[in-house]
Amino acid sequence: MTAQIIDGTAFAARLRARIAAHVAKLATQGITPGLAVVLLGEDPASQVYVRSKGRMTREVGMASFEHRLPADTPQDALLALIAQLNADPAVNGILVQLPLPAGLDEAAVINAIAPEKDVDGFHILNVGRLATGQKAMVPCTPLGCLMLLRDHLGSLAGLNAVVIGRSNIVGKPMAQLLLRDSATVTIAHSRTSDLPDLCRRADILVAAVGRPNFVTGDWIRPGATVIDVGINRTEAGLVGDVDRASALQVAGALTPVPGGVGPMTIACLLANTLTATARANGLPDPE
Ligand code: NDP
């Protein structure tokens, strides 16, 4: 058996096309969604992400505002910029690129963003809203994973899902989203005992670990749907957390790296910016 490859690049392109159509409709009402991205320092990976976020924002017809600040920017100056963006009606979404340089209080910075403009979904109010089933801004990477899962599986109700990783950015919100869709969810982490055995019980396996080729085919239940969130730079190039060659022999479906979850993350950022714009203008959430 060879697993089906879930094409995140193609799905993300279709999603961006839908977003562009919504943006064109908003333009006829004089509304242009605006996304502000704040980047501190010179981290090369962050620079690449910020550049492609800016390009894709403009491609769907939104306004992109980039704020590049030196790594030694004091917390006060960063908070002042966020306050200015919070008050700016042309800005519907604010994203502060993480990780922040050492010395800055990440939680304080995230929680300074107006929750309705928090398109990353990391503000404590949005985290709480998601956990309690209220209308929230949902973190982009797990939202993208959920879209791929729904598209591939239809209903997730009653399926056993194992999420490896408990970060605030991926693992925890992924588990919340799966739970919201009535999957039976287990969250695994570095202290989990007998991880391979646990994984073998999963109909849905999400790997968000940050270790190259960590999950091998013998951990996977035959026919399971495997979502590989990992992005690991190795000498062999970009690889995921799932060992592709062995996983392909067992899984029912697998997201590739690159070309799986990665493109969905940016598309979901644009989707969240569109949603934030609609809500700011008293319009229904876009489909
Ligand atoms: P973190 O480092 O914050 O979290 C990693 C998680 O993996 C932790 O919960 C950790 O457990 C767990 N873990 C580490 N080692 C083991 C182990 N041996 N067994 C079981 N669990 C383990 O990473 P992120 O959640 O931010 O990111 C995860 C991966 O996803 C990374 O490769 C990152 O690059 C990628 N990523 C991809 C995105 C995309 O757009 N495709 C977006 C964001 C991230 P513990 O909590 O116990 O330490």
What are the sequence ranges of the domains in the chain? Answer: 30-114, 140-263
Which ligand 1 atom is the nearest neighbour of the CA of 232?
Answer: 32
Query: What digits encode the pLDDT tens for the residues 101-122?
Result: 999 999 999 999 999 999 999 9
- CATH class given for the domain over 140-263: alpha beta
* For range 158-178, the mean pLDDT: 98
pLDDT at 1 over 90: no
Known catalytic residue at 43:
no
Query: What digits encode the pLDDT tens for the residues 199-227?
Result: 999 999 999 999 999 999 999 999 999 99
* For range 186-190, the mean pLDDT: 98
Distance CA 275, CA 246 (A): 39
Q: Verify whether ligand 1 is closer than 6 Å to residue 255 (CB atom).
A: no
Structure confidence at residue 287 (pLDDT) = 86
Contact 221, 232 (CB under 8 A): no
- Mean pLDDT over the full length of the chain: 97
Whole-model pTM above 0.90?
A: yes
Q: Do domains 30-114 and 140-263 have the same CATH topology?
A: yes
Catalytic annotation, pick one of 7, 25, 47, 97:
97
Architecture of the 30-114 domain: 3-Layer(aba) Sandwich (3.40)
Structure confidence at residue 269 (pLDDT) = 98
In the chain, the percentage of residues whose pLDDT exceeds 90 is 99
